[in-house]
Amino acid sequence: MSSTGTTPAIRLTGLQKHFGDVRAVDGVDLEIADGEFFSMLGPSGSGKTTVLRLVAGFEQPTGGTVELAGRDVTGTAPFERDVNTVFQDYALFPHMSVLENVAYGLRVRGVGKAERRSRAREALATVRLDHVADRRPTQLSGGQRQRVALARAVVVRPKVLLLDEPLGALDLKLREQMQVELKQLQRELGITFVFVTHDQEEALTLSDRVAVFNDGRIVQLGSPQEVYERPVDEYVASFVGTSNLFDAEAARAVLGRDGRYALRPEKIHLAAEPDAGAATPEHDRVRGVVAETIYLGIGRRVVVDTEHGARLVVLEPSTAPAAVERGDQVVASWRHADLVTLA
């Protein structure tokens, strides 16, 4: 990431995009640092992809400005912006070899044949695919096609790489592998990556910072740890991971206090009723009955119906010494410090 005081790679000021009466983007202000891996996270219709298209120049804003490296590009065409985009469907040319696909952007820019072939091979080596240069895209796996699309995007050496849910078409195992490779590639190249996704785990895994979108606006902006550990409202707490949410009524009944709160499942400790121990000033405690247990491999999800009628979801690690079972009477406890106050 760039140091404080340097010109950001991207600056959005009062950005708006309306489609008729629909405010797809509703006043977004954002700065993305040079060399940052930045994710825009949100469900379908939240505005994240429209923001990406406005940065790329595929859409023109209804209001506001887009700056790249300090230059106002709001009214310029996509090919006049020093950005490139990787799409979910890869958009590779099936009649061209892998090398020709990667070199295509250089060819359009008038780069000579020898230089573009050399640079294309370098780009393929960067994504560890130089050995498939002469194959056609149809002869490659999904993960390989994704890496070819990345090589084609970076070969023109853009200042900013825009990635529109590029891993969405891959199966889980391959997607996890590509997440690691994508982060390594970004570090090696030093290019600003702007990554659009609806997958909260993907955003938390990859990003230096995350912007959580809803209804065309950024509702929270921060590091993955900040967004996960300290969600600002109920929307972020429930969309980014799993949270136990206490509305005003539940907070008074279970916590004995006013307000609205969130509590992550892994912050809760369960103990069988006789072994619960005494209450402490630093902890909340509530009795309940185990309604369900679900084995997850890395741990177990335990659903507890509390004595106050509220339901808690607890994540127990697989190393928990004495796993509780359905029907057991338990005491759930957590630190006061792990409760997050919601707006």
Q: Alpha carbon of 248 to those of 102, 123, 255, 265, 332: distances in Å?
A: 56, 55, 10, 19, 20
* 273 located within any domain: yes
Please give the Cα distance from 183 to 150 (Å, whole number): 12
Residue pLDDT, tens place only, 119-171 = 999 989 888 888 999 999 999 888 888 889 888 988 888 999 999 988 776 77
Please give the Cα distance from 303 to 146 (Å, whole number): 39
* 2 located within any domain: no
| pLDDT above 60 for 4 | no
Residue pLDDT, tens place only, 319-331 = 776 678 899 999 9
70-108 exposure pattern, b = at least 16 Cβ within 10 A, e = fewer: eeebbeeeeeebebbbbebebebeeeebbbbbbbbbbee
Please give the Cα distance from 43 to 199 (Å, whole number): 8
* 1 located within any domain: no
Secondary structure of residue 235 in the 3-state scheme: helix
**How many domains in the chain?**
2
Secondary structure of residue 41 in the 3-state scheme: strand
Q: At what angle do helices 113-126 and 98-108 cross, to 10 degrees?
A: 130
CATH number, domain with residue 48:
3.40.50.300
- One domain, residues 205 and 297: no
- One domain, residues 183 and 315: no
* 89 located within any domain: yes
User: Residue 94: which domain range?
Assistant: 10-239
Please give the Cα distance from 180 to 173 (Å, whole number): 11
- One domain, residues 19 and 163: yes
Residue pLDDT, tens place only, 181-224 = 888 888 888 899 999 999 998 999 999 999 999 999 999 999 99
Residue pLDDT, tens place only, 55-98 = 999 999 999 999 999 999 999 999 899 999 988 777 789 999 99
Tokens of 182: 């994508």
Residue pLDDT, tens place only, 287-311 = 999 999 998 888 899 999 998 888 9
Angle subtended at Cα 43 by Cα 32 and Cα 225, rounded to the nearest 5 degrees: 50
- One domain, residues 142 and 235: yes
pLDDT at 323: 73
**151 neighbors 144 (Cβ within 8 angstroms):** no
- One domain, residues 151 and 229: yes
- One domain, residues 89 and 234: yes
How far is the first Cα of the chain from the last one, in angstroms, to the nearest whole number? 30
**DSSP category for residue 266:** G
**343 neighbors 264 (Cβ within 8 angstroms):** no
Q: What is the DSSP string of 49-118?
A: HHHHHHHHTSS--SEEEEEETTEE-TTS-GGGSSEEEE-TT----TTS-HHHHHHHHHHHTT--HHHHHH
Model pTM above 0.95: no
Neighbours of 304 (CB within 10 A): 26
CATH number, domain with residue 290:
2.40.50.100
Helix (H) or strand (E) holding 142: helix 142-154
Tokens of 116: 């573009």
